[in-house]
Amino acid sequence: MAEYPPKLRRLLKRIGAIADRQERIQLLIDLSKRYRRVSEEIARPPYGDEHKVPACESQAYVFPVPNGDGSLAFHFAVDNPQGISAMAMAAVLGDTLSGVPLEQVAAVPTEIVYELFGKELSMGKNMGLMGMVGMVTGYARERLAEKT
Amino acid sequence: MTAIDDRGYARPEVLVSTEWVADHLDDPAIRVIESNEDPLLYSSKHIPGAVEVDWTRDLNDQLRRDYLERDGFEKLMRRIGVTPDTTVVFYGDKNNWWATYAFWIFQLFGHARAKVMDGGRLKWEQEDRPMTTDLPRYGPTIYRAPERDDSTVRAFRDRVMAHLKAKGQLVDVRSPEEYSGERLHMPAYPNEGALRGGHIPGAANVPWARAVNPSDGTFKAAAELRAIYQKEQKLDPEREVIAYCRIGERSSHTWFVLTHLLGFPNVRNYDGSWTEWGNLVNVPIEK
């Protein structure tokens, strides 16, 4: 876990220490309540397909915004009001990876989905949530490539 | 949407409206059951008095790829306070996709007093009906279940193979992209979680969600369903139909539609579906 950005590492450690499934679910629900839709100053619906997370049935979108220090801030939109897991994922990624050095963001594996949600997810749900991680790390890699 | 009784279904009694459920929240003979794909939804809020049946924890064997056996089903029924006389009413996210999956598995144990709430969670929420985070507690019940019966509504791969050779009717309820074998845009993931993409030769492609009205998740009327399955896809109700998807969840929705709403007498769900067929050695595949 040492390679993860500090905020993400702390969150994963915290959630990994929760043995009770219901307690873990409650923490994820609490995280989902921190989700905020991307502001209209950054993106207005209908959002472009280039921002749409592939394989995500909750219709999640990711919007990277460059920071002055070269890092990215990540904003999200989840169009399915029942997409609680996608909202939790959006809150986690936005909170723990925004402003983080791009090399660290790019190195975050999609498997953090398992560490957050456990392995009792449908493949569809898995792929959607992993798609959100993949899209964020992909934006970081693109940005790194542009710099070199 | 037209009242359920006016939609021309073969067995309208298997569907209940949100209003009906609201009127029976305190009925001890009714147990409302939420089954979702999203594991956070039930705990975030649910219909008052509803219990959760989770497809991974409650309905699947935790070791083998199979469903729970009789003992496990009896324990589940006792935990959620259901007796053989209790009418269970399923609802859930994704247009009742997982609700019909749970409904189908309950039929493997012969629990015939089962219904689905039309429109599922989406419609209930749209109507601003009450929801709660309170977890209900029901006293343990006595439930004696029969052995699981896989012979009537379930198909295993040998049966599917024989069905295929006999040019039987198959319905692939996945998306057109899955049906055609087009690779999904997920790096490092084989299409469908299977080594090969495509579909079982001869299968019709009717994505499961075509059976519902997307605005509120209710089922389409029988005439609309017949137009899709019988006129457009030429399915003959008098002949056996086997439905499949990726692991048998979406196809349980189509099984429900064909069996209960259109009254096809012989429909089976192949729950091995594409994650089995697409990984089998030397079976026919069409793209």
Asked whether the predicted pLDDT for residue A127 surpasses 90, the reply is no
Does residue A142 carry a pLDDT above 60?
A: yes
Percent of chain A with pLDDT over 70: 98
pLDDT mean over A98-105: 97
What is the model's pLDDT at position B190? Answer: 47
Whether the predicted pLDDT of B70 surpasses 70: yes
d(CA B280, CA B271): 14
Chain A CA closest to residue B56: A120
SS3 state at A22:
helix
Looking at the domain that runs over A6-36+51-147, which CATH code has it been given?
A: 3.90.1010.10
Q: Which of B34, B42, B44 to mutate to test the interface with A (most CBs of A within 10 A)?
A: B44
Predicted complex ipTM: 0.85
Q: Using pLDDT thresholds of 50, 70 and 90, give the confidence band for residue B79.
A: very high
pLDDT score recorded for residue B186: 44
- Please enumerate in sequence order all residues whose Cβ is within 8 A of that of B282, keeping only pairs 6 or more positions apart, or say none: none
Measured between beta carbons, the chain A residues lying within 8 angstroms of B184 are 54-55, 127
B80: left (phi over 0), alpha (psi -120 to 50) or beta: alpha
Residue type, B167: K
- B124-141 per-residue burial string, b: 16 or more CB within 10 A, e: under 16: bbeeeeeeeeeebeeeeb
- CA B16 from chain center: how many Å? 16
pLDDT-derived band of residue B1, with 50, 70 and 90 as boundaries?
Answer: low
The distance of A120 to chain B (nearest Cα, Å) reads 6
Q: Coil, strand, or helix at residue A142? A: helix
Instruction: Give the pLDDT mean for B141-163.
Output: 97
CA B84 distance to own-chain centroid: 21
Q: Environment class of residue B264 by beta-carbon count within 10 Å: exposed (0-12), middle (13-18) or buried (19+)?
A: buried
pLDDT for B31-56, tens place per residue? 999 999 999 999 999 999 999 999 88
d(CA B268, CA B271): 9
Burial of B187 (0-12, 13-18, 19+ CB in 10 A): exposed
Which of A3-7, A37-41, A119-123, B221-225 bottoms out in mean pLDDT, i.e. has the lowest?
A119-123
Confidence of residue B130 (pLDDT cuts 50, 70, 90): very high
Question: Residues B88, B203, B245, B258: which is the catalytic one?
Answer: B245
CA dist list (Å): A110 to A89, A101, A129, A145, B188: 12, 18, 8, 20, 11
Residue A37 tokens read as 């839709």
CATH T-level fold of B4-126: Oxidized Rhodanese; domain 1 (3.40.250)
pLDDT-derived band of residue A147, with 50, 70 and 90 as boundaries? confident
Render B108-162 in DSSP notation, one character per residue. HTT---EEEETTHHHHHHHTT---B-PPP--------PPPP--SSSB--HHHHHH
Q: Collapsing DSSP states into helix, strand and coil, what is residue A47?
A: coil
Q: Which pLDDT score, from 0 to 100, does residue B192 have?
A: 53
Phi, psi of B241 (to 5 degrees): -125, 135
B161-206: per-residue pLDDT in tens? Answer: 999 999 999 999 998 988 998 864 444 444 557 888 999 999 999 9
Whether A1 has a pLDDT exceeding 60, the answer reads no
B65 contacts on A by Cβ (under 8 Å): none
Report the pLDDT value the prediction gives residue B185, as an integer from 0 to 100.
Answer: 40
Position with higher pLDDT, A80 vs B213 = B213
What value does the mean pLDDT take over residues B24-33? 97
Token pair of A70, please?
A: 């070269």
Contact B54 A120 (CB under 8 A): yes
For residue B158, what are the CA distances in angstroms to A17, B173, B184, B245, B271? Answer: 45, 20, 28, 17, 13
Which one, of A15, A2, A17, A144, lies nearest residue A92 by Cα? A15
Segments of chain A assigned E as strands: 60-66, 72-78
Cβ pair B171, B235 in contact under 8 A: yes
Residues in chain B closer than 8 A to A130 (CB atoms): 186
pLDDT reading at B103 higher than 90:
yes
Question: pLDDT confidence of A121, banded at 50, 70, 90?
Answer: confident
CA distance between the termini of chain B: 38
Do the domains at B4-126 and B157-277 have one common CATH topology?
yes
Q: What is the rounded average pLDDT for all residues in chain B?
A: 94
Mean pLDDT within A96-124 = 92
Q: How confident is the model at residue A57 (pLDDT cuts 50, 70, 90)?
A: confident
Residues A66, A144: contact at Cβ < 8 Å? no
Is B245 an annotated catalytic residue?
A: yes
Say what the pLDDT of residue B183 is: 60
Q: What does the pLDDT read at residue A119? A: 81
Whether the per-residue pLDDT at B75 is higher than 50: the answer is: yes
pLDDT of residue B245: 93
Q: Is the peptide bond before B84 cis (omega within 30 degrees of 0)?
A: no
Domain borders along chain B are 4-126, 157-277
Within 8 A of B185 by CB-CB distance, chain A residues are 54-55
How much of chain B, in percent, has pLDDT values that exceed 70? 96
A32 touches chain B (CB under 8 A): yes
Closest CA to B140 of B84, B88, B75: B75
Quickly state the pLDDT bin for B139 (edges 50, 70, 90): confident
The domain B157-277 belongs to what CATH superfamily?
A: Rhodanese-like domain (3.40.250.10)
Given CB atoms, is B265 within the 8 Å cutoff of chain A?
no
